[in-house]
């Protein structure tokens, strides 16, 4: 599954995200029939104390989502996304592009966000 996710993300990150983007988030959605999707967004703000930063989109993959099917609960999907994002940050083709943002988060759109990466301020 990681290879398909990485290929999808590589395609999205090939083109530069908006210059005013401060942080990125991977929105997780539950679909019908054991389907799950991830959407990449970029926000022009970031506040580690307030998840609302992810609502201020300056970029979104829109309906071009990473989709997979798996029969399980949301907790397992959350863990799957955590592992895919963290693995991409370690060895993905555009890992350094993501690490140039102030933060990389992920989470269900109707839930709390988790930060996979926060850049140390110089």
Is 72's pLDDT higher than 80? yes
Note the pLDDT of residue 16: 85
pTM of the model: 0.95
- Residue 53, pLDDT score: 95
- Written as one string, the DSSP assignment of the chain is -HHHHHHHHHHHHSSPPPTT--EEEEEEEE-STTEEEEEEEEES---TT-GGGGGSEEEE-TT--EEEE--S-HHHHHHHHHHHHHHHHHH-TTHHHHHTSSEEEEEETTS--EEEEEPPP-
pLDDT band per the 50, 70, 90 thresholds, residue 63: very high
Q: Give me the pLDDT at residue 83, please.
A: 98
Domain residue limits, the chain = 2-14+22-111
């Amino acid at each position: 599954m990681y290879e398909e996710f990485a290929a999808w993300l590589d395609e999205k990150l090939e083109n530069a995200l908006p210059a005013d983007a401060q942080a990125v988030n991977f929105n997780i959605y539950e679909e019908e029939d054991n389907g799950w999707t991830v959407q990449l967004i970029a926000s022009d703000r970031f506040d580690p104390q307030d998840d609302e930063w992810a609502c201020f989109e300056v970029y979104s993959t829109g309906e071009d989502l990473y989709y997979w099917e798996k029969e399980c609960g949301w907790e397992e999907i959350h863990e799957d996304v955590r592992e895919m994002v963290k693995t991409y940050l370690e060895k993905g083709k555009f890992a350094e592009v993501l690490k140039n943002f102030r933060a990389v988060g992920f989470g269900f759109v109707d839930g709390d966000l988790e930060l996979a990466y926060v850049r140390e301020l110089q």
